[in-house]
Chains A and B, each alone.
Chain A
Amino acid sequence: MPSVADLTPKSKPTWCPGCGDFAILAAVKNAISQLGLQKHEVMIASGIGCSSKLPHWVDVNGFHSIHGRGLPIITGIKLANHKLHCMVTGGDGDGVGIGTNHFIHAMRRNLDITYIMHDNQIYGLTKGQTSPTSEKGMHTKSTPFGVIEIPINPIGLAIVSGATFVAQGYSGNIKHLTELVKQGMQHRGFAFINVLQPCVTFNHVNTFEFFDSRVYNLQEENYDTTNKANAIIKSEEWGERIPIGVFYETRRSTYADELPQLKDQALVDQDISNINVEHIMEYLY
């Protein structure tokens, strides 16, 4: 079983000092280590953005792809080799900006993967433009007169789109976040974890101070994670109090469960050395 140190490669994160991404990186490594997974059993894919560089800094298999496409990349990987424990990390721009279409459809499929969205409500790597989760009125480089749109609600979107495990974590609470990532990885089906992740450089509204005084743990209150309608309502809560923890959890067969092609063997293990096509040619007579 790899320790957190074993999971730390030589190359060092290039994130800004104090970035909320460090906590997510720590939680991911903690979870892999505490679940006793071997490095080679885990695959992390990502798109583009500060957060999407995460696979370079966990010593497991990784695929750092292009903006918004971490989900279709991991979909191909998971269907090719469903024995791998698959995870995607990415930002809010990656997930609910350029990649929204994939986000919705991946959840509808209920692939057995864990998707961690680093939600800092800003574009960091491109140096401070509005994001799909920026609050209305926020002043950024691309919206100097304030954002006109209302933000996307990733938690609500995940619940209605068919994710079977939907949670929210906070970079200010690594211990809680580690537990959520572990739960997500143990969940059989699509686990979505939205992480409130302050960008210390470009988002001066949604800071650690902002969240510290607002977040509370749903599981410390009398909250039913199986009530879908209530979970959707809960996902709208944003203001004086901001909930973290598991919003919604259910069970449904995964995409791979419904494919007889995967019943005996992963695709990657199937023998292709001598496939007989004579009978299809015969059929064309």
Chain B
Amino acid sequence: MEVSEILNKLTWKLGGQAGFGIMSAGLVFSRTLSRHGLHVFDTTEHPSLIRGGHNTYFVRAEDEPVYSQIWPLDMLVALNKETIDLHKNELISGGCIIYDGDEIKIDQEGLGRQDIKLFPVSILKMAKDCGGTALMRNAAALGACMGVIEGDFNTFEQVFRDTYKKKGQEILDKNIEIAWKGFEYARNNYANQYDKKIQQIHGAPRRMLINGNTAICIGAIKAGLKFYAAYPMTPASSILHFLAGHEREFNIITKHTEDEIAAMNMIIGAGSAGVRSMVATSGGGFALMVEALSLAGMAEIPLVAVNVTRAGPSTGLPTRQEQSDLQFIMNSGHGEFPKIVVCPGDPEECFYETFRAFNLAEKYQLQVIILSDKYLADANLTYEKWDTSPLKIDRGKLLNKEDLDKMSGPLDYKAFEVTQDGVSPRALPGHPNSVHRRTGNEHDEHGVISEDKNNRLAQMDKRMRKLNGAEAELPEPILFGDSDADITIISWGSTKMPVRQAMKFMHDEGIKVNHLHILYALPFNTKKIKQILQGCKKTLLIEGNKTAQMGHLISAKTGIMPDHEYLKYNAEPFYPEEICDQVKKILNR
């Protein structure tokens, strides 16, 4: 060995033209590192195209927890020349490029990077020599990566076989043969020139590799989702795909509807009939749903809606990141009605908060909106299997058959009964004593249209009271990190991931920083957040939009405007390094 090794710490990027199989190859590599027992974060970048355009898959793996992507790149796998041109300067000194030397002719001088290593591998030729297709060169490229870092080929092979199970034995065998060629060639020729190594950690726990959208799906399934309707829209579509793939296994109906208007109205129908229902879309689709959302508010129909934000406005940058829908979602729907807006910050929160969302929706007979975004939707993190034992279904004041049997007749039942907590007993259609009507018009306790002023006040107040109960049972916002921090970072949603990563870096440098992650935008816990902010020495607001939408909410609710703000709207997620830079600038470090 010519170089001293750095063990189990690697950043890796695969790049090429859309249509080259970047996404699935990247996932195989990511899972392979996860199954070595490492903590993994991965994220993708791609344009809104089926073919052509530049795609990348970034993977970061370490033997300690990781929370987000970082800038320094160790290993670049280039399936075309463009990848090298675009990303060579992300490589650290001593980093390497793996590429097809038969297709791409480069040298260090031409690249202007004398400090990086070039590892040409004849990946296309290896695929062809084994009788494979051009696409199978990805197997050779991945094999070569494994060879350079001297990872465990058997682990790689198992991941490959698990991931592509449906391709059939023959194709799998061929791919593995090709991958082995790449592995052997790179190990024999380049391994001794490269310092980053990956080794199987024995005794490491089994971990899932899961992104926000998949976590939402599993949370919803666990919560008893029975009806899901959606119209495809990036970056929400993978929720539709996942649920459609599992609909028969869990007796869920997934419906790809004629438009988003139909999707929202269908789940309102299904919710009113008593099944747990969900819709997911992105901003433009949500815009089409809000008239019906307002109906659900008035008719008190429980539902869960997911808005996976893309960079807007309009079509915007369909496959890219932004946190620009907060005010839109909070204010969605005409008129005033209670709703809950939750902004999970990582896949784990996506899972648990989605589960909770279904309980909240039914308990308070209102609409819960899960506000996610592209970055959270697609980024995979490793977690040990989530504990589902504390998760209990709570359907609130839902009357069962025995309750209804006791009533003397349907006039006994008031679907919109004015109660102390604002929540009326809920009966589903189908029982003789629960016959009732729901309407988008203002109505009396029986659901009969009413324009009486006193009734209006009573019903409006009753509906809005429901939020009090919901707020009381939600987790209180907390300060994460040093209690005597010199600066408090405020963020919401997916920005939690790079903030937590930045905090780890800063902690290692001795900078005292803590974090207020605002999980619930509605109901907004004014009292607690105000109390937290009043105790902070300095505050830095970080959010992915142009107009500081959360900043305005905080200021409107608490009268406190964060001292500093760092806003990003170039359609990429935050990097922890830039967060560290901002903090250091403020603290004069």
Chain A residues packing against B (C-beta within 8 Å): 11, 38-41, 43, 45, 48, 53, 55-56, 59-66, 69, 72-81, 83-84, 101-102, 104-105, 259-262, 267-268, 270, 272-275, 277-278, 280-282, 284-285
**CB-based contact A80/B270 at 8 Å:** yes
**CB-based contact B269/A63 at 8 Å:** yes
Q: Report the minimal beta-carbon distance from B304 to chain A, rounded to whole angstroms.
A: 14
Interface flags for B438-461 (1: CB within 8 Å of A; 0: not) read 111100000111000000000000
Q: A61, A80, A273: which contacts B227 (Cβ < 8 A)? A: A80
Q: How far is the CA of A232 from the CA of B246 in the complex (A)?
A: 41
Q: A65, A80, A104, A277: which contacts B218 (Cβ < 8 A)? A: A277
Q: B207, B253, B267, B274: which contacts A285 (Cβ < 8 A)? A: B207
What chain B residues lie within 8 Å of A53 (beta carbons)? 449
Q: How far is the CA of A45 from the CA of B266 in the complex (A)?
A: 12
Q: A40, A56, A282: which contacts B431 (Cβ < 8 A)? A: A40
Interface flags for B37-66 (1: CB within 8 Å of A; 0: not) read 000000000000000000000000000000
**CB-based contact A76/B207 at 8 Å:** no
What chain A residues lie within 8 Å of B214 (beta carbons)? 284
**CB-based contact A261/B269 at 8 Å:** no
Q: How far is the CA of A69 from the CA of B267 in the complex (A)?
A: 12
**CB-based contact A76/B218 at 8 Å:** no
**CB-based contact A73/B268 at 8 Å:** yes
Q: Do A275 and B440 form a contact, CB below 8 Å, given A69-B292, A81-B273?
A: no
Interface flags for B206-236 (1: CB within 8 Å of A; 0: not) read 1111100010001001111011010000000
Rank and list the top 6 A-B pairs by shortest CB-CB distance, nearest first: A76-B269, A272-B224, A62-B437, A72-B265, A76-B270, A80-B273
**CB-based contact B35/A76 at 8 Å:** no
**CB-based contact B208/A65 at 8 Å:** no
Q: How far is the CA of A278 from the CA of B410 in the complex (A)?
A: 42
Interface of B is mostly: mixed
Q: A43, A59, A273: which contacts B429 (Cβ < 8 A)? A: A43
By size class, the interface of chain B is 35 or more
What chain B residues lie within 8 Å of A268 (beta carbons)? 226, 273-275, 428, 430
B291 within 8 A of A: yes
B399 within 8 A of A: no
Q: Do A285 and B35 form a contact, CB below 8 Å, given A76-B277, A79-B270, A277-B388?
A: yes
Q: Which of B250, B270, B428 has its CB near the most chain A CB atoms (within 10 A)? A: B270
Enumerate 7 A-B pairs (CB-CB under 8 Å) in ascending A order: A63-B439, A81-B429, A272-B223, A278-B385, A284-B208, A285-B34, A285-B206
Chain B residues packing against A (C-beta within 8 Å): 34-35, 206-210, 214, 218, 221-224, 226-227, 229, 246-248, 250-253, 255, 257-259, 261-263, 265-277, 291-292, 295, 299, 385-386, 388, 393, 410, 428-432, 434-441, 447-449
Q: B255, B258, B388: which contacts A278 (Cβ < 8 A)? A: B388
Q: A11, A69, A80, A270: which contacts B265 (Cβ < 8 A)? A: A69
Q: A64, A84, A278: which contacts B430 (Cβ < 8 A)? A: A84
What chain B residues lie within 8 Å of A66 (beta carbons)? 265, 291-292, 295, 440
Q: How far is the CA of A277 from the CA of B218 in the complex (A)?
A: 7
**CB-based contact B227/A282 at 8 Å:** no
Q: How far is the CA of A73 from the CA of B226 in the complex (A)?
A: 16
Q: Do A76 and B268 form a contact, CB below 8 Å, given A83-B430, A267-B251?
A: yes
**CB-based contact A64/B441 at 8 Å:** yes
**CB-based contact A261/B270 at 8 Å:** no
**CB-based contact A65/B224 at 8 Å:** no
What chain A residues lie within 8 Å of B259 (beta carbons)? 101
Q: A48, A76, A261, A281: which contacts B266 (Cβ < 8 A)? A: A76
**CB-based contact B432/A77 at 8 Å:** no
What chain A residues lie within 8 Å of B428 (beta carbons)? 81, 268
**CB-based contact B257/A64 at 8 Å:** no
Q: How far is the CA of A40 from the CA of B250 in the complex (A)?
A: 28
Q: Report the minimal beta-carbon distance from A40 to chain B, rounded to whole angstroms.
A: 5
In the complex, which residue of chain A has the Cβ closest to the Cβ of B247? A261
Q: B251, B265, B437, B448: which contacts A61 (Cβ < 8 A)? A: B437
What chain A residues lie within 8 Å of B246 (beta carbons)? 280
Q: How far is the CA of A55 from the CA of B221 in the complex (A)?
A: 34
Q: How far is the CA of A77 from the CA of B227 in the complex (A)?
A: 10
| Seed contacts A72-B266, A101-B259, A275-B250; 4 additional CB < 8 Å A-B pairs | A73-B266, A73-B269, A76-B272, A81-B274
**CB-based contact B226/A75 at 8 Å:** no
Q: How far is the CA of A59 from the CA of B386 in the complex (A)?
A: 48
Q: Do A56 and B270 form a contact, CB below 8 Å, given A105-B258, A280-B246, A285-B206?
A: no
**CB-based contact A277/B269 at 8 Å:** no
In the complex, which residue of chain A has the Cβ closest to the Cβ of B395? A272
Q: Do A282 and B385 form a contact, CB below 8 Å, given A43-B429, A76-B269, A81-B430?
A: yes
What chain B residues lie within 8 Å of A102 (beta carbons)? 258, 261-262, 265
What chain A residues lie within 8 Å of B224 (beta carbons)? 272-273, 275
Q: How far is the CA of A199 from the CA of B110 in the complex (A)?
A: 81
Q: How far is the CA of A260 from the CA of B253 in the complex (A)?
A: 10
